[in-house]
Amino acid sequence: MKALLVDDTHPLLEEGLIAGGLQVIREFEAPLATLAQQHADTEVIIIRSRLKVSADFLKAFPQLKVIGRLGAGLENIDLNEAARRHITCLRVPEGNARAVAEHALGMLLSLLNHLPRVHREIKEGKWLRESNKGRELQALKVGVIGYGIMGGTFARLLDAMGVDVLAYDKYKSGYAEGGVVECSLERLYEEADVISLHLPLTAETKGYADSAFFNACKNPIHIINTARGPILDTAALVSALDSGKVLSASLDVLEYEKSSFTSLFEGPLPPALASLLERENVLLSPHIAGWSKESFEKMGAGLAQKVLTAIKTD
């Protein structure tokens, strides 16, 4: 059985597939037409975020049985067409969930304690203490929206620290663990001081955090997005920052990212993004929350095992 790797992966993934009896072919640069001509008989394809797996792509590989995504999301795959063709689509969110949770926590703590600002001030020779008084996380209530593997891991990390956590998931019930409190979206809006988004990107969730979202929050909030950029409306966030509805924003993802997550667009910055860059109560990182040495290893080994299991049960 042939496994076609169309993007760079971890050696543990390749080693696992080979140990399971698969022939591993690395084709990181070849265009789709060349891939289809040379590897139309492939039964397993491993991707990351660079490649768009469209209906035309799937049509080019008539024997395809499994698509493995080295990551947490499947939004770059035409899932309806894959299902129609009885192709199993796999992902490994458990591989980088801890990395995402720690990254989100680090960003939040940095802003609660004004670290970007005080770092700049000290470089300028300023030693200002009273104006930079921080907040303790245990004094705040954190709302987690979306209780999948990512949201659940973040919630459990906060719960272990003694933080009050509210969790809302539209499609689940009876999921809360430990001291995490399962609640309605209305209660979360009413009580949360911090809101962290852990939603997949779908037609339903695109633009989820918009002006109505921010206006529904009773308290001024700190917002975190380590999920997908288009879930949060940047212009609405800027307005909420200006009005004081949002006290700080921790963003590992931006709605302006290319679909491959490898860069922003070319050309001048959109006004909303330019506004974010001027603020010291906004912390940005380049979609690296789930990208740690440990997570890369766990995703590689985990995806290999899932692929081999899927093949055996096919």
CB 36 within 8 A of CB 277: no
**How far, in Å, CA of 92 to CA of 300, rounded?**
9
Q: Which of 191, 228, 279, 294 is catalytic?
A: 228
| Cβ neighbour number for residue 9 with a 10 Å cutoff | 23
CB 179 within 8 A of CB 165: yes
| Cβ neighbour number for residue 146 with a 10 Å cutoff | 23
Q: Residue 166 CA to chain centroid, in angstroms?
A: 20
| Cβ neighbour number for residue 173 with a 10 Å cutoff | 9
**How far, in Å, CA of 202 to CA of 75, rounded?**
7
Closest-CA residue to 221 (of 206, 198, 240): 240
Reported for 176-180, long-range contacts at CB under 8 A and 24+ positions apart, including other chains, are 176/147, 177/152, 180/144, 180/155, 180/156
**How far, in Å, CA of 247 to CA of 109, rounded?**
13
Based on the residue annotation, tell me whether 257 is a catalytic residue of this protein.
yes
Burial class (CB in 10 A: 0-12, 13-18, 19+), 32: middle
CB 17 within 8 A of CB 307: yes
**How far, in Å, CA of 295 to CA of 273, rounded?**
29
CB 248 within 8 A of CB 222: yes
Based on the residue annotation, tell me whether 222 is a catalytic residue of this protein.
no
Q: Which amino acid is at 175?
A: Y
Based on the residue annotation, tell me whether 39 is a catalytic residue of this protein.
no
CB 172 within 8 A of CB 150: no
Q: Which of 14, 43, 255, 257 is catalytic?
A: 257
Catalytically annotated residues? 228, 257, 287
